[in-house]
Structure formats: structure tokens, C-alpha cells
Amino acid sequence: MTSLITSRARHVAVIGLGAAGLVAVRELRREGHTVIGFEREKHVGGLWVYTDRVEPDSLSVDPDRTIVHSSVYQSLRTNLPRECMGYSDFPFVTRSGEGDPRRYPDHREVLMYLQDFAKEFKIEEMIRFDTEVLCVEPTPENNRNWSVQFKSSSGVSGEEIFDAVVVCNGHFTEPRLAHIPGIESWPGKQIHSHNYRIPDLFKDQVVIVIGSQASGNDISKDIATIAKEVHISSKAVASDSYGCYDNLRIHPTIYRAREDGSVVFRNGKVVFADAIVHCTGYKYHFPFLKNNGYVTVEDNRVGPLYKHVFPPAFAPGISFIGLPFMGLQFFMFEIQSKWVASVLSGRVKLPTEDKMMEEAIAFYTKLEDLGIPKRYTHFLTDPRGNPMLGTFKPEDAVVISQSDYFNWIAKQCRCTYIERWRERLYNVAIKKIFFGGDSYRDQWDDDQFIEEVYGEFAKLKSNQDCSS
């Protein structure tokens, strides 16, 4: 299958209407395509729609479980300032007289921003709510078209043929779990952060939290307000280290769990714990995708993909928005969507299938040569601004620099590069996460810079008013 297409409007399905799906719908319509969005919930927002409901299987490993798609906990706040989170032409600014005015707002404020975006660009009129996509596959009579089979919450099933499908179903529903020797016979309670909402369950208990990234840090501190002790197991600390702060304890990874309820850490410490909370991330999961095994998920690498978006053999008929993580997510969704929309219209051409596959394989080989595991294939960030990646050499930035990635796509679809202020604000924010202490969200000294950013927002609005 080649990637050469004539310039015309396409009939496109978008699966999932969170932050990625919303901007994908907008960009596709702006490019002249007809679009139908499929959303299994009653509202837009995806990840950011909070619910008290959790799954009956607290580890979410039962394939027949009732799936709850939200992973948001009640106390969640963004770990980036709102100014750098928004789409390029719809700034995420404080809402006048309502909502959460903080620069690192809570999840409700993000959801309201997405709802405002959907309303501003009249996106909901193109969405089929309460509709689950059951199967996406190439049509047998025409390998360039795609069959989408779906079912509504009322039980009505249907099938529709599309020229293209854009997958925006997110990756915060299918949990990854830590491998712990002996855990099968350990008697305590286990839960994945996907099913964590409030700390009440852990009152006066000894709790182990596995993971020290964003959710691990937040949840451990949340639980510490009510628990007897919280022990954090982190890959980021040396195997012989141990730290203590109030009722928080910092350990390296777990060596093994025992039948008597104890857990042994690699620093030799033994803790009798009531519960383990796995803040260990998620797996990419596309249960609806039927493509004869061409696109697979192996150790959390979705592939083969050209630039994280297009499977070479099926491009541009199917594409993925939002696979890369640990970066400027909303901006990435937008720039990827612009690329997909312009490729589908024929305004921008992809390389041949063979060339795309060659580049994808070269990228995977580069990662392997650098010793980067497959599960970090979609880890999109810049080592020059992220202390987590201090072991990478500057010359390796070609593999994982998000700014280079964004600007490469922008060049393809002839749109604006990432703003320098956004890039600068993101890099400062990442350093604050790791070096700013517990209060990094509420203490900053960049008032003058933020004034400059809001000046850019004012110019943007003025230009939009003139265009109107």
C-alpha cells in the first residue's frame, strides 16, 4: 500500500474524545474532512473526567472486569503550569470568577478547559456519545478503507465504512504491575493507582507505594496524611539507600514479599505492610484493532510506526495520536493532528511504505544501541531539560528531543514551530518537579516571564479578533 493520495476530503473516524481526540476532530474538520467521533462515555474529556467509581478488581488484571476509564484521583493537580499546557491557539488561562485560579490547577479545571474548547469549536455536534468501538479493520473488498463496528450503551450495534481512522483512545486504562517475587502468597491488599481515588482506605495502616513518578509522589503524600507509615519503593535511588521524612520512608526496589506479610527491600529493610499501591504506569491497549498482527504492542512499544504516528503498511488510513509520553501533551496532540489531517487531504505527502519502514527500523536500532528498553520507545522528552535523563549524552537528543520532534512535524505540515516561551517554561517546570520540593506547584519566582507569556496570549487574541 502506498502513501500517495489525491487531494480531497476524507470521511474520518476518531476514536476517543479526550484531549487528543478533541483537537484531532478540530484539525481534521479544518482541513476539510468529514468527521465522526466515537466516545464511549457521556462527556468529552477522557482521562480528565473524574469519577468516584473504581473497578471491582483493584489491580485491573481480570480481562472480564467492568472497566472504569478514568484514572484521576480526587486530589490530583497538574504537574505543569497551565500556561504551557494549552493548545497553541486556545490558551489555558484562568477562568474569570470561577474554577481553580492556581497556575497548577486541579483536574476539574483541566476538564472545564477541554469542555470550553469543545464548545468554542462546536465539536460535540460531530460526536457519538455512549458509543463503544468494538472492531476496526481494513475492509476485505478495499484495503484502503476501514470498517468501524460499534455499539451504543442502549445496545444498538452498527458498522460504518471510513476512508481513515484516527486512534485517540489514550493509554491510562490498562495498568502495568511491578514484578515482585513472592507476591502471590503475600496476604496484604494490593491496588493499582488506576483505582485510587481517596486515602481513607489506608487510615492508620502501613502502606508501600511502588513508583516515584508523578502519581507515585502525589499518592504517597496523599496517603501519608492518614496512614501510620508510607514506604516508597523507587528505582531512582541506590540499592543501599534509605531516607526518612515524617511518616514517609524512601527505599530502593522490593527484593521479595513473604507469606507472613513482610516485604523485604533491596536495602535490607523489612516492613510488615497492610497494603501495596502500584503506581507503575500503564500499557498501550487497542482491543478493537484487528490488523492481522501488523501493528503490535511489545514491551509497551507500539509498532512498527513512522514517527510514532503512522503504521507504514496502512498509512495514512490509520494513525495514532498521543502515544509519546512525558512531554507537552496537548501541544503534541495538536501538532500530530495537523500532520495527520494534512496528509489525509493530500496537502502533505508521506514517504513510501518502504522508506517509512526503513526509518522506523533505524529508530528502533538507535534505541537499542543506546541501551534504551523497548518500553521507553515513546518516551518523548528532551535530555537537556530533564534531570531524569542525565545519563544520556547530548548527541543522543536526536532520538528523544520533543522540541525537535514537534518542529519536524511542523515543517512537514507548514505550521508554526513550538513557541520559545512554551519550551522554556516547560524546561523550568520539569526542573521544579525534581528539585523544587513538595511545594513546587505553589512557589515560583518567574512573575516577569509569565507577564511576557500573557502578553503573547494578548497578541494572539488580538490577531484572532482581527481575523474574525
Kindly state whether residues 317 and 295 are assigned to the same domain: yes
Whether residue 52 lies inside any domain: the answer is no
For residue 304, CA distances in Å to 56, 338, 364 come to: 34, 21, 9
* Separation between Cα atoms, residue 195 and residue 68, nearest integer Å: 9
Q: Which of 71-80, 323-332, 429-438 has the lowest mean pLDDT?
A: 429-438
Report, as an integer, the average pLDDT of 245-267. Answer: 97
Per-residue confidence (pLDDT) for residue 468, from 0 to 100? 66
Angle at which helices 447-467 and 420-435 pack, to 10 degrees? 140
Residue 381 — very low, low, confident or very high, per pLDDT cuts 50/70/90?
low
319-350 pLDDT, tens digit per residue, is 999 999 888 999 999 999 999 999 999 999 99
Task: Say which residue, 37 or 369, is predicted with more confidence.
Answer: 37
CATH label of the domain that carries residue 24: 3.50.50.60
407 backbone φψ class: left, alpha, beta (φ>0; ψ -120 to 50): alpha
Task: Give the mean model confidence (pLDDT) for residues 231-257.
Answer: 95
pLDDT at 5: 44
pLDDT in tens, 178-211: 999 999 999 999 999 999 999 999 999 999 999 9
Under the banding of pLDDT at 50, 70 and 90, the label for residue 127 is very high
Instruction: Find residue 147's DSSP bridge partners.
Output: 137, 161
Expressed as residue numbers, the domain containing 341 is: 11-44+77-174+282-436
Task: Give the C-alpha separation, 450 to 418, whole Å.
Answer: 17
Residue among 212, 247, 255, 206 at smallest CA distance from 232: 212
- Name 324's Cβ contacts closer than 8 Å, sequence gap at least 6: 308, 332, 378, 379, 380, 402, 405
Note whether 134 and 223 are same-domain residues: no
Q: Are 164 and 319 a contacting pair, CB within 8 Å? A: yes
Residue 468 lies in a domain: no
Residue 383 in domain: yes
Could you tell me if residue 205 is inside a domain?
yes
CA distance linking residue 40 with residue 134, whole number of Å:
11
Residue 3's pLDDT band, with cuts at 50, 70 and 90, is very low
Amino acid at 188: G
Specify the DSSP element, H or E, that contains 190. strand 189-192
Average pLDDT over residues 238-262: 96
Ramachandran angles phi, psi of 114, nearest 5°:
-65, -40
* Share of the chain residues as helix, strand and coil, in percent rounded to the nearest 5: 30, 20, 45
Q: How large is the average pLDDT for residues 271-298? A: 95
Residues linked to residue 232 through DSSP beta bridges, in sequence order: 209, 250
Query: Is 449 domain-assigned?
Result: no
- Identify whether 194 is part of a domain: yes
Q: What is the pLDDT of residue 385?
A: 37
**How many Cβ atoms are within 10 Å of 438's Cβ, its own excluded?**
10
- Could you give the CA distance from residue 357 to residue 58 in angstroms, rounded to a whole number? 40
Element (H, E) at 271: strand 270-272
Do residues 308 and 237 both lie within one domain? no
Strands 262-265 and 164-167: unpaired
204 and 263 part of one domain? yes
Q: What is the pLDDT, as a whole number, of residue 233?
A: 97
DSSP lists the bridge partners of residue 165 as 13, 318
> So what's the pLDDT on residue 394?
39
The strand pairing partners of 282, in sequence order, are 175
pTM of the model: 0.93
- Give yes or no for residue 162 having a pLDDT over 80: yes
Q: How many domains does the chain have?
A: 2
The residue-averaged pLDDT of 45-52 equals: 96
Same domain, 328 and 404: yes
Does residue 297 sit in the same domain as residue 427? Answer: yes
Shared domain check, 109 and 252: no
State the chain's mean pLDDT as an integer. Answer: 91
- CB neighbours of 420 closer than 8 A, spacing ≥ 6? none
Q: What is the mean pLDDT of residues 107-132?
A: 97
| One domain for residues 150 and 287 | yes
* Number of separate helices (H) and strands (E) present in the chain: 10, 21
Domain co-membership, 207 together with 254? yes
Q: What is the pLDDT of residue 392?
A: 40
Give the C-alpha separation, 325 to 79, whole Å: 14
- For residue 63, is it within any domain? no
Q: Residue 195's CB: how many other CB atoms inside 10 A?
A: 20
Looking at residues 380-384, what average pLDDT do you find?
A: 51
Of 278, 310, 334, the last residue of a domain is 278
Compute the Cα dihedral for 437, 439, 445, 449 and give only its sign.
positive
Task: Give pLDDT, residue 72.
Answer: 97
- Cβ–Cβ under 8 Å, residues 411 and 338: no
Q: What is the pLDDT of residue 144?
A: 84
Chain centroid to Cα 18, Å, comes to: 10
The verdict on whether omega for the bond into residue 373 sits within 30 degrees of 0, i.e. cis, is no
97-116 pLDDT, tens per residue? 788 999 999 999 999 999 99
Whether the pLDDT of residue 135 is over 90: the answer is yes
Q: Which three cell numbers stand for residue 161?
A: 465504512
DSSP 8-state class, residue 52: S
**Confidence band, pLDDT 50/70/90 cuts, at residue 7:** low
Closest CA to 317 of 300, 294, 335, 284: 294
DSSP of 329-355: HHHHHHHHHHHHHHHHHTSSPPPPHHH
What share of the chain has pLDDT > 70, as a percent?
94
Read off the C-alpha cell for 277. Answer: 499501591
Q: Is residue 397 situated within a structural domain?
A: yes
User: Do 21 and 130 lie in a common domain?
Assistant: yes
Where helices occur in 392-446 by DSSP H, the ranges are 397-400, 402-412, 420-435
What is the DSSP secondary-structure string of 81-145? -HHHHSBTTB-----TTSS--SSS-BHHHHHHHHHHHHHHTT-GGGEETTEEEEEEEE-SS-TTS
Is the pLDDT assigned to residue 314 strictly greater than 50? yes
pLDDT band with cut points at 50, 70 and 90 for residue 462: confident
Reduced to 3 states (helix: H, G, I; strand: E, B; else coil), residue 257 is: strand
Q: Of 249, 278, 307, which closes a domain?
A: 278
Task: Kindly report, residue by residue over 23-32, the tens digit of the pLDDT.
Answer: 999 999 999 9
Among 278, 299, 333, the domain-final residue is: 278
Q: Between vectors from CA 257 to CA 253 and to CA 261, what angle results, nearest 5°?
A: 125
What is the structure's pLDDT at 2?
A: 41
318/250 same-domain check: no
Instruction: Verify that 359 and 390 share a domain, yes or no.
Output: yes
Compute the distance between CA of residue 193 and CA of residue 172 in angstroms, rounded to an integer.
Answer: 10
Question: For residue 56, how far is the Cα from the chain centroid?
Answer: 24
